[in-house]
């Protein structure tokens, strides 16, 4: 092999490697673009960077840098999520907690965010509003079937069983304090 060939080969390898790196943006820039569009959880950013093929150590370094720069904060994300979703009528704390868990938020952050759950209206008032809307679609059904469907609907919306049973008793027996089933 001629003496100058090794040098040229190495230069070509370096050029090829730098062109690959030039084509693919740095993980930091990709993460900043993601966060510029909307807030993301740590898990979401980690998954997006991993999907783009960044090595785990580079992803971990970017996540740490984002967190230290306060660009990535799961507790702040959870608080904002709860505030924005609580405005939507009919979502209870159980449903909000389930959604936050699906986004990779830890239990401590979920608890702190739900502690700030808007208290303008009680959960029972919200459940009663949801029930009143749902009952419009249940008209004409046998009361026992309507009761079960209403209870299932409120369960999917994330309300506690104590609230669900009280609301169902109110709408199906006329009083909220009655212990009778329909």
Looking at per-residue pLDDT, the higher value among 26 and 90 belongs to: 26
pTM of the model: 0.60
Looking at residue 176, its pLDDT comes to 41
CATH architecture of 11-68: Orthogonal Bundle (1.10)
Q: What is the pLDDT of residues 52-109, one digit of tens each?
A: 999 999 999 999 999 999 999 999 999 888 888 776 666 778 888 888 999 999 999 9
Alpha helices (runs of H) in the chain, residue ranges in sequence order: 3-23, 27-37, 42-51, 56-68, 74-87, 93-102, 107-115, 123-137, 143-156, 161-173
Using one digit for the tens of pLDDT, what is the confidence trace for 102-151? Answer: 999 999 999 998 887 755 567 788 888 889 989 999 988 999 899 999 99
């Amino acid at each position: 092999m001629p003496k100058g060939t090794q040098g040229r080969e190495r230069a070509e390898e370096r050029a090829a490697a730098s062109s690959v790196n030039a084509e693919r943006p740095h993980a930091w820039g990709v993460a900043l673009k993601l966060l510029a569009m909307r807030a993301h959880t740590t898990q979401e950013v980690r998954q997006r960077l991993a999907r783009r093929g960044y090595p785990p150590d580079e992803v971990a370094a970017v996540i740490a840098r984002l967190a230290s720069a306060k660009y990535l904060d799961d507790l702040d994300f959870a608080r904002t999520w709860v505030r924005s979703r609580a405005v939507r009528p009919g979502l209870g704390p159980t449903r909000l907690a389930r959604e936050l868990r699906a986004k990779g938020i830890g239990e401590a952050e979920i608890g702190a965010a739900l502690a700030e759950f808007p208290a303008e209206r009680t959960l029972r008032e919200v459940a009663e509003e949801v029930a009143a809307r749902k009952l419009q679609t249940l008209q004409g059904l046998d009361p026992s079937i309507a009761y079960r469907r209403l209870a299932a609907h409120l369960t999917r919306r994330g309300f506690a069983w104590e609230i669900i049973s009280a609301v169902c008793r109110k709408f199906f027996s006329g009083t909220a304090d009655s212990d009778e089933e329909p």
